[in-house]
Amino acid sequence: MKRLLLVALICSMAIPSEATAQRRKSKRNKKNQTTQTNKPKPKKKNGYASIVNKNTKTDKGLFDVHETKGKYYYEIPDSFLGTEMLLVTRLKEIPGGLGGGYVNAGSKVNTQVVVWEKFKNKLLLKVRSYNAVADDSLPIYKSVKANNLEPIIYAFPIKTVNKDSTATLVDVTKFFSSDVKAITGIPASFRRRYKVRRLDASRSFINSIKSYPKNIEVVQDFTFDADTPPSNRSSNTITVRVNQSMILLPEKPMMPRLFDARVGYFTVGTVDYNSEKLKADSKRYIRRWRLEPKDPAAYARGELVEPVKPIVYYLDPATPEKLRKYIKQGVDDWQKVFETAGFKNAIMAKYPPTKEEDPEFSPEDIRYSVIRYVASTTRNAVGPSVSDPRSGEIIESDIIWYHNHLRSYRNRYLLETGAANPSARTLDTPDKEIGDMMRMVIAHEVGHALGLPHNMAASYAYPVDSLRSGPFTQKYGIAASIMDYARYNYIAQPGDKGIRFIRQLGPYDHYSINWGYRVIPNATTPEDEVKTLDKWIAAKADDPKYLFGVQRRGAFDPASQTEGIGNDQVKASTYGVKNLKYVAQNLSKWTSDQTNNYGDLNELYGELLGVWSRYAGHVTGNIGGIYERNKKPEQNGDVYVNVSKTKQKESMNWLQKNVFTTQKWLMPKNILKNINHTGYAQRMLRLQNRQLYSLLSGGRLERMMNAETTETNYYSAVDMVRDLRRGIFSETAGQRNVDVFRRNLQKSFIERMGTLMTTRGAQNSDLVSIVRGELNVLKSQLRTASNRAVNRITKYHYRDGVARIDAILDPKK
């Protein structure tokens, strides 16, 4: 019995009662419930079906683009992660006056190579640079990557994946409706200029997103608060419509062609760390379209072959009907040029397709190259393009024609050819001639879009007197290339027969397209091509028709100046001025007498002064000029050659006679007294100062001082300044009054000399010595001349000149 009681007691202690167990269980449940309540609830996953469903609008293409509940999503296949694409930002529609008239609908704002990369729970859009490259199999590749970190434009949270997990969905709404600087339509310079404060999100939105097989086009409307907008000032608002094109770059880049400075091409560049030399190679590749022959065997045999993919330009639907044929001709004129490179039907223009022909056609779509017709008062045309930075392959280009540009050509046609060309002596230029001008402007801009920069040496290729020959000008034009700024034949004189007055494509254009576009058989690397390319250059090296001259600001090569024609600037400008005198005498008769209005006369007179100034500037370029002829060491002759002393002194004499002596023919009373009440003397001074300041510029004088180190017979800086002083102050040699124009010019000479005294670096060169010496000589001249001056104002003027020189030479007095 005792044993049974003991067992029962042990059991009662070991096994809790049901009530006790229930209480403990209740406590545990309560504890668990408390713990679960304190834990954050897991976020509900945003599944594919919640984004893409029957209510979703889907546009299939490069990426599938989904629009649902006011948001846009990209469905990016994993196969495209790391794939290089080109992101091009353009202005689709703009407010009036944006950029001062040289920005238009269709203008490119930014171009960048981008890649999509996955990082944790985000998808990154990164910019990839080709400023430095190395093969990923080499150890140095790691250093190139480490020292060229790619910027992240945007980090997109991953929303979900598609049903088979082969693509990632991201919401791009915020990216395209926010002020992301990398894709903005208002760059930093505009923000400063127009005092842009912020993007107003309530007035900014995505207009549309369309996906095509190789590209995606996004149209955004951005509205910014701005204190000084370019138009509609009272609104304090700038609204721009921006187009973003994301295009798939070729999986296999086109084989590049190495740039050679002896043939003009736009370029892309990189620093190549693959080299085994003691430094990295800086490489530049020409920019060109990918033209590949359909029949390589026939091409290799020298037959004309069509390209696999021709270059096609579409005309803007906004182009006036009567101008379309001229624009088309300006493109099609290049077909003959490409035949020189072995291709037929390589380039063509097409009229804009109708909605039925191509419902997806859009000038902003990067699949289409378009010649855009812009409603703008700007007088210009441009030929930009978009290229693959890996190879230089041109992907697309939009040529821009501004509506008012033909007015400039009409005016210049009248002014530069009116003396020898009766059909130019009117404000109503014949349609055929206007059309021919437009055709050649388009051809020029197409040249840019093909990769060709300006070739300013082309206008120096022909002898001056050849440009007075009808047969010569009809065959060769007025310059060796359409890519020069040689618009009209201003050399031909009254009585010359059969002259071509308007520019045209020339022999250099055939040569440069052949050099850049002809496929070289059996070449598998850019380096393999160099030997053949060099042979092509060597074959033409001694012929001026095939020389290339760089356009540069502050040009030092007189053979590569803008707006000139002929190989002798003194002779050409003499002919040009002679013609211009005839035009000045008849300008009223050809304009205001016909219209009973002075508006056109005023406009054309102002441009006439500009034409005269250009002719003078061409001659000024000879003084201190240095010819530049890019060469390889295997070629004969030097790269840089000074203009002869004889030519420089001849040019100085011409300037004294035709610029610094008062050109009274430039100020006919019947014009001046009907277009302005005052300002005649100051207007002439501005024109003379342009040449005076150019002659007395630090760069020109430095070149002339350096000639002492390489030449034995040279026109020295001290001789030039002396000759300039003697000519401008020639009245001091006798008892002659100085008219107001010359008094102003002489004051300008003294002032400019004073400026040279403080030019940076002048104290450690001969420049200060020359200036001080010439001013002292002039001071003595003026003192003597003031004692025998005929009239009072001349006497006062000379005394004032002495005081001005004293202030320069001894400013502490």
Question: Of 545, 405, 548, which Cα lies nearest the Cα of 477?
Answer: 545
**N-terminal to C-terminal alpha carbon distance within the chain:** 138
Residue 8: pLDDT band (50, 70, 90) is very low
Q: Is the pLDDT of residue 164 over 50?
A: yes
d(CA 633, CA 688): 42
Q: Is the pLDDT of residue 50 over 70?
A: yes
* Residue 504 included in any domain: no
What is the tens place of the pLDDT at every residue in 316-371? 888 889 899 999 999 999 999 999 999 999 999 999 888 898 887 877 677 889 99
Question: Of 758, 748, 755, 741, which Cα lies nearest the Cα of 724?
Answer: 748
Output the DSSP codes for 105-148: TT-EEEEEEEEEEEETTEEEEEEE--SEE--TTSTHHHHHHHTS
Q: What is the mean pLDDT of residues 77-91?
A: 93
For residue 313, list its beta bridge partners: 349, 369
When divided into structural domains, the chain yields a total of 1
**What tokens were used for 136?**
């990923």
Q: What's the confidence (pLDDT) of residue 128?
A: 86
- Residue 145 phi, psi dihedral angles, 5° rounding: -65, -45
Stronger pLDDT, 355 or 490, i.e. the higher one: 490
Q: What's the confidence (pLDDT) of residue 92?
A: 85
Lowest mean pLDDT among 10-19, 149-158, 279-288, 579-588: 10-19
Q: Is the pLDDT of residue 84 over 70?
A: yes
Q: Is 345 left (phi over 0), alpha (psi -120 to 50) or beta?
A: left
Average pLDDT, the chain: 89
Radius of gyration of the chain (CA): 36
Q: Is the pLDDT of residue 37 over 50?
A: no
Contacts of 426 (CB under 8 A, 6+ apart): 414, 590, 594
Q: Is the pLDDT of residue 155 over 60?
A: yes
Contacts of 166 (CB under 8 A, 6+ apart): 77, 78, 79
Q: What is the mean pLDDT of residues 285-299?
A: 96
d(CA 42, CA 50): 18
Q: What is the mean pLDDT of residues 512-516?
A: 98
Q: What is the mean pLDDT of residues 288-307?
A: 96
Lowest mean pLDDT among 30-34, 85-89, 371-375, 547-551: 30-34
Query: Crossing angle for the helix pair 599-620 and 569-590, nearest 10 degrees?
Result: 170
Q: Is the pLDDT of residue 145 over 70?
A: no
Assess contact for 651 and 619: CB atoms under 8 A.
yes
Q: What's the confidence (pLDDT) of residue 142?
A: 55
Strands (E), 259-320: 267-272, 281-286, 311-315
Q: What's the confidence (pLDDT) of residue 137?
A: 61
* Residue 763 included in any domain: no
Query: Crossing angle for the helix pair 717-728 and 680-695, nearest 10 degrees?
Result: 160
Lowest mean pLDDT among 163-172, 581-590, 785-794: 785-794
Under DSSP, is residue 92 helix (H, G, I), strand (E, B) or coil? Answer: strand
Could you tell me how many residues make up the chain? 813
Q: What is the mean pLDDT of residues 448-467?
A: 96
Assess contact for 504 and 284: CB atoms under 8 A.
no
* Residue 307 included in any domain: no
* Residue 211 included in any domain: yes
Q: Percent of the chain, pLDDT > 70? A: 89
Q: Which helix (H) or strand (E) holds 193?
A: helix 188-193
* Residue 242 included in any domain: yes
Question: Of 524, 513, 523, 517, which Cα lies nearest the Cα of 483?
Answer: 513
d(CA 212, CA 160): 23
Q: Is the pLDDT of residue 42 over 80?
A: no
For residue 169, list its beta bridge partners: 75, 160
Residue 552: pLDDT band (50, 70, 90) is confident
Domain carrying residue 191: 56-248
Q: What's the confidence (pLDDT) of residue 139?
A: 65
Lowest mean pLDDT among 254-268, 384-398, 437-451: 384-398
* Residue 93 included in any domain: yes
Assess contact for 130 and 389: CB atoms under 8 A.
yes
User: How far is residue 654 CA from its own chain's centroid?
Assistant: 35
Residue 44: pLDDT band (50, 70, 90) is very low
What is the tens place of the pLDDT at every residue in 652-687? 999 999 999 999 999 999 999 999 988 889 999 999
* Residue 627 included in any domain: no
d(CA 137, CA 25): 66
Maximal C-alpha separation, the chain = 161
**What tokens were used for 749?**
């000479």
Residue 734: pLDDT band (50, 70, 90) is confident
Residue 1: pLDDT band (50, 70, 90) is very low
Q: What is the mean pLDDT of residues 218-245?
A: 91
Residue 35: pLDDT band (50, 70, 90) is very low
What is the tens place of the pLDDT at every residue in 175-195? 999 999 999 888 888 999 999
Q: Is the pLDDT of residue 642 over 70?
A: yes
Q: Is the pLDDT of residue 413 over 90?
A: yes
d(CA 459, CA 353): 38
CA distances from 47 to 56, 493, 524 (A): 14, 81, 49
- Residue 707 phi, psi dihedral angles, 5° rounding: -60, -25
d(CA 471, CA 459): 18
Assess contact for 333 and 297: CB atoms under 8 A.
no
What is the tens place of the pLDDT at every residue in 555-573? 899 999 999 999 999 999 9
* Residue 137 included in any domain: yes
Task: Report pTM.
Answer: 0.86
